[in-house]
Structure 1
Amino acid sequence: MFLVPVRLSREQKRNCVELFKCLDVDQNGCLDEQEMLGAMLAQGYTQYQLSDARTLIKEYDIDGSGKIELKEFIKMMEHQASEELYKEYCDFIFDYIDRDGSGTITKRELRKMFSKSVANDDVVKMQCEALINSADDNYDGKIDRDEFKQLLRSIPYESLQQSFELFVRGKNASNC
């Protein structure tokens, strides 16, 4: 997944510092595996174990200390914000296409969406069929939200945003 880099504001960084201090139970200036697990459990992620905390530390431990220091914690929070932004944008696009609000994108909804931008209806049908077939992991003939997000994972955020905005602008121009 290609994420848009998010930089936290000063206030958000101050909030991260306060959160870090609360999570740093032994007040040694870094979060160990137990403290990371405690943070994950406090967030409601009850399925996580110590091995998950270890994995998270390995992912964000820039200096190799085996612990998360404040700067690394802030980087981790920025990355999480980037992931959330990407997920929200994917949800926004999904909801735009899922006109009936059923929680799935059908061939009909795709054809309707693409019909204004492609002149040949047979081409639209083929493209919609191919898109559904490539993303439909459970073979129900539709794309659900998870399948849609998986489909978009390989697209950089900026490209996704630009393409969607150009498509919507073009569609709105053709509706005038």
Structure 2
Amino acid sequence: MKDFKQQSQMQIAMLNYIAENMMSEQDKKKLMEEFQKFDLNKDGQLTKDELLKVYSTMLSSEQAAQEVDTIFKKIDHNGSGRIDYQEFIIATIDQKKYFNREKLLMLFQQIDRDHSGQLSKQEVKKLLRDMQIPKEKLENLQKQLDQNGDGQITQEEFLQIMLQLS
């Protein structure tokens, strides 16, 4: 978790989509088991105290506290003071495995519902709505992907922004 980079909202949305639609059942199971190691009270959310207890078994108290603070700054996207399973998945997904040119092209083709080779505003809006992205963020995310402002997102525009994770 500590190696998780902060990413753009669009990259986070795509990681979420990948986690839900492209991960193998084995990978999903492995991540769930990892999450449960940290979720000491089994409520489906990780608190600073829970992480601190786990990290204190491996690090000094001071190092553990620093580590947990760093993790929360990077992962707690909604500022709830807790890390939910979705935030955990996004932070721990094997980005090298799922964020390569081949997988991203497959993802693009899944999103490109009319198979035009470009994503229209409607296709992006539908995808983001399906992922329950708040309306106020939709327009910003579309602009982020449509770098030349022509209203269409080409495969190259999509790949360029998504591969910035590497």
Normalising by the smaller structure, the TM-score range is 0.3 to 0.5
| Structure having greater relative contact order (Cα 8 Å, sep ≥ 6) | 2
In terms of Rg, which structure is larger? 1
